[in-house]
Structure 1
Amino acid sequence: MSRIEHFNDPNAPKANSIVVATTAFVLDPDNRVLLIRRTDNGLWALPGGAQDLGEFVAEAAVRETKEEAGIDVEVTGLVGIYTNPNHVVEYSNGEVRQQFSICFRAKPVGGELRVSDESSEVRWTRRTDLDTLGIHPSMRLRIDHGYENRSQPYIG
């Protein structure tokens, strides 16, 4: 299924759903962030996805990171909660989802980098290389907030 991100676009379709989703901001010992290249839109992103029924929201971040990137993580904190109603994701099946994403801070505890059905590339990326990658502005905001290591999580 393909997806189109609409961000502050007055011509964007109206949202018809909202789903709790997570992302994981994971740094390795060299201060490189874990990124995946999404197969549904070709953009680079933090690993993450929707929370499943019966699952704690932090467990979703751990599961999605393992599924999409092959890395086992432990959640250590909260980067922020991202709920901008002017950011909607349009899916090829007709769903138009309003953003609702909780970005967790996590540390790697095992695993090996590997791709999945949802990731065509996976890598540890230096902060100085971020500007060379195709990253959606809302995802870049989460990455920047993660690197800022704020004393309070972002809420917006």
Structure 2
Amino acid sequence: MKRTITLTVNGTTYTRDVEPRTLLVHFLREELALTGTHIGCDTSQCGACTVLLNGNSIKSCTAFAVQADGGEITTIEGLAEDGKLHPLQEGFWEEHGLQCGYCTPGMILSSEQLLQRNPDPSEEEIRKGIEGNLCRCTGYQNIVKAVQHAAKNSTAKA
């Protein structure tokens, strides 16, 4: 039996009927066509499906859409404003923090949570903040540089 849920995703409110077993990642990708949230391992190991739910990073492959009912979700598509890259997106671009790009949305959203809580993290704090996200291409050094770039540029704007 379907259940009606209402969520705000990237600033837009949606009300939909969903099967209680529908994973949040599938709801975002299939129901809302927000394909920036990637499906990697389906076991919460890789972090490619990371989104922000009420400001907290979660792995959407292990959360049901009904659990997010009433919540605010931010996906990678919701970070840029008015066509201008978010400082983290800019940092990944400038510091070559991506190669294949598959892990990038999850890395950026995990980093966003980190920077919201700690606007000037050390390299060790950045590595700890992204440890739930796996990258098979970069070796992480440029990802760390990208987050440092964002922290520096976010602080300069404040």
TM over 0.5: no
Which has more radius of gyration? Answer: 2
Which structure has more strand as a fraction of its residues? Answer: 1
TM-score by length of 2: 0.24
TM-score by length of 1: 0.25
